Chains A and B, each alone.
Chain A
Amino acid sequence: MTDEASLNLFQQQELNRRRTTWLLAVFVLFFAWLGFGGDYIYALYTAHGPPAAQHHVWWFGFLMLAVGAGLAAYAYRTGPEKVLWATGAEEVVDPVDDKQKQLVNVVEEMAIAAGVPRPRIWLVPDDDPNAFATGTDPQHAHVAVTQGLLDLCSRDELQAVVGHELGHVKNLDVRLMTTLAALVGAVVLMRDGTNRIFWSRGSGGGSRKKGDLGPLVLVLLVVWILSWILAPIITQLLAVAVSRKREYLADAMGAQFTRNPLALASALQKIEAADMPTTHIKSGAAHMCIADPLGRRLTAREGLLADVLATHPPMAKRVAILKGMGYAQLKKEGGVATP
């Protein structure tokens, strides 16, 4: 995790592939822990009872392992669809107006510049300007922009934003981030489901005698229950940690594709200025967007709190870096900077 920006494209892709595999493996292992841990605690709990009542077959562990593996496979396979579905995006197949035609053209242009196949194009019916990319690899990629972005940005700015998104596609950020979004979704869903089960059980079976519970069992039980509760929070923190550094890199790649860093800078400024939350994009997919869709003020600065909680780097810093690139370029070409 040292200096990620210094890696070349193939190393970036490899890193993202490996991290996706790790993410899926940890997810499945976590489910196995929940399952077998529960079994183990139950086995200890019943160890002193009559043999017939003892817990021998660890069916709960195997069940959870199967559920975890199934969920992971399902999340990986259908991640892009789920993300697009969750944002209410509609695919642009036949552009209906000039703006949509322009979007299609711009995406085609950027796909050529990036040297990737043309991704499928989606439009999110939301007035706040934002954009994201999803997919498992460049051959199966999707780029989505909001109606607000389409209305607000000039052609050059739209191109810059799409270039940024194709940067994510090309270095396989999309694979990691989409898988993560799908897993976060699965965990949150699971939490909601199990909360209901826990509460209904908790009220009914609370009167059991607990005298024969050893301290080890108690500790295990606490840890186990804690991991049920903490799982959603941990996955969301993971989403945060994984996404922030990537934005700088995608900005740089987008600028490399368009050779126009100033357009991206001005697009980011416009997006930042229109600071209302993107209502169609829920927190599960927040880390995938070009700018934080929740409109959180955390992204306004860097610091410990922001480091822990913000999904996006401070906008001012991104703009400053891009402007630096732009002016360096203008100077090289012997032009005059027009702020």
Chain B
Amino acid sequence: MPSWILLIVLAAAALWIISAYNGLVSLKNQTLNAFRQIDVQLKRRHDLIPNLVNAVRGAMNFEKGTLEAVIQARNQAVTVNAAGPAAVKQISRAENALSGALSRLMVVVEQYPQLKATGNIGQLQEELTSTENKVAFARQLYNDTATQYNTKQQQFPTALVAGLAKAQPADLWEIEDKAERDVPQVDLGLTPVPPLRIAERGSGGEAK
């Protein structure tokens, strides 16, 4: 009897499965691609840090701790990074630690105008800001794409073909720990700037 109706329904179902499947695969690849973007930017950042450290090292004997923290965090991040996309969580933790250490260093640099005036610190600072932004934006794109991918594979009816497309929820890049972004305490061994500004910035902690 109405076998042609059945045929149409089957054809429509097949078309829908194909389009849903392709949609998932495309999102998966976008997610992977976005992750690679982060990786590229992280490498850039790791390469930039030695330059930065060398540029400030001479003038910053007094801030050994801050500098050391950056170097250590950087080396840690490079090691973890070799693990690849499987270890999103570990990588993001290591990179967040590095972000924290770097921002602390930059605040310290801000406190010493003569340091900024000498050499190419200003340019390095711009480079660093840009690199940090690139990491942040790559991460943002990855998180947005991964969220879209995760939502799609969990939503009905696309969830029905998620198994077929071998869709797995992608790990999101962890949001930075708030404590890490806190303003660092500045070692006042040199008191190079009017202390007023430091007092303002360092409120809420034990300044030595």
A residues apposed to B, CB below 8 Å: 98, 101-102, 105-106, 108-110, 112-115, 155, 159, 257, 259
Contact = CB atoms under 8 A, between A and B. Distances in A.
Instruction: Describe B's contact surface by its main secondary structure.
Output: helix
Contacts of A159: 133
A108 B41 CA distance: 11
Contact of A101 (B123, B133, B134, B138): B123
B126 A98 contact: yes
Interface of B: 30, 34, 37, 41, 122-123, 126-127, 129-130, 133-134, 137-138, 140-141, 145
A257 B133 CA distance: 12
Contact of A102 (B41, B126, B140): B126
Nearest to B142: A115
Contacts of A113: 137, 140-141
Contacts of B137: 109-110, 112-113, 257
B130 A112 contact: no
Contacts of A98: 122-123, 126
A109 B134 contact: yes
24 contacts: A98-B122, A98-B123, A98-B126, A101-B123, A101-B126, A102-B126, A102-B130, A105-B127, A105-B129, A105-B133, A106-B130, A108-B130, A108-B134, A109-B130, A109-B134, A109-B137, A112-B138, A113-B141, A115-B30, A115-B37, A115-B141, A159-B133, A257-B137, A259-B140
A127 to B, nearest CB: 23
B122 A155 contact: no
Contacts of A110: 137
B25 to A, nearest CB: 16
Contacts of B123: 98, 101
Q: Could you say which of B41, B123, B126, B133 has the most chain A C-beta atoms within 10 Å of its C-beta?
A: B133
A105 to B, nearest CB: 4
Contact of A112 (B30, B41, B122): B41
Q: Could you say which of B127, B133, B137 has the most chain A C-beta atoms within 10 Å of its C-beta?
A: B137
Nearest to B137: A113
A112 B126 contact: no
A168 to B, nearest CB: 18
Given A98-B122, A101-B123, A112 B134 contact: yes
A109 B140 CA distance: 11
